[in-house]
Amino acid sequence: MSRQPQVSVIGTSTPDEEIYELARAVGRGLAEAGAVVVCGGLGGVMEAVALGAGEAGGITIGVLPYIDPGDANPHVTHAIATGIGQARNIAVVGSGDAVIAVGGAWGTLSEIALARRMDKPVVALRSWELEKPDGSEPGITRVESAEAAVAEAISCLGNG
């Protein structure tokens, strides 16, 4: 890969403390591994992953649903203001070479579906448990720790 790898991190905007800290550790681990973190740029998991990446000196790209770059959380280093609302979810997952879901609600589920439609590898950390209607696996790797999520996403780079 000739450019710096990008990993999209998606998840709930209203995490409990455990999910927040997991996302923060994911951000830190990705930055330490040399990946750019892409997220939705607002609060919750998005804020936590940007905070963690920033603590490790990493770069974070926040793809915002609004038109003002100032709406980004204070840990985002590069804000992209789209003005397209939830449709920005396509840009969030499409910009990653791999996707990590940490926790999540309906928006996260939509992003997981979009990522799989784009054939992006998805790593789930305390996130949705899914199977296809025929019972087959949907191409989502489940992990139990932030370290495992980072390791799995990094191992997918160039293979997704």
Domain layout of the chain by residue ranges: 6-156
Short-list 13, 56, 14, CA closest to 32: 56
Distance between CA atoms of residues 7 and 63, nearest Å: 13
In sequence order, what are the residues at sequence separation of 6 or more whose Cβ sits closer than 8 angstroms to the Cβ of residue 74? none
What percent of the chain lies above the pLDDT cut of 70? 98
Per-residue pLDDT tens over the stretch 89-98: 999 999 999 9
pLDDT at residue 160 is higher than 60: no
Q: What's the whole-number mean pLDDT along residues 37-54?
A: 98
Q: What would the CATH number be for the domain defined by 6-156?
A: 3.40.50.450
Residue 159 pLDDT greater than 60, yes or no: no
Residue 37, beta-bridge partner list: 7, 60
pLDDT at 158: 64
pLDDT band, residue 88 (cuts 50/70/90): very high
Section 9-24 average pLDDT: 97
pLDDT exceeds cutoff 90 at 120? yes
Q: Where are the beta strands (DSSP E) in 2-159?
A: 6-11, 36-39, 60-64, 78-81, 98-102, 122-125, 140-143
Q: Quickly state the pLDDT bin for 1 (edges 50, 70, 90).
A: low
3-state helix, strand, coil in the chain (%, to 5): 40, 20, 40
Mean pLDDT for the stretch of residues 13-30? 97
Structure confidence by residue, pLDDT tens digits, 67-78: 999 999 999 999
Angle value at C-alpha 95, between 23 and 56, nearest 5 degrees: 40
Q: Of the candidates 3, 2, 4, 5, which has an alpha carbon nearest to the alpha carbon of residue 155?
A: 5
Q: How far apart (Å, rounded) are the C-alpha atoms in residues 69 and 35?
A: 22
* Adjacent-strand bridge partners of 14: none
Asked whether 111 and 140 are in contact (CB, 8 A), the reply is: no
pLDDT of residue 135: 75
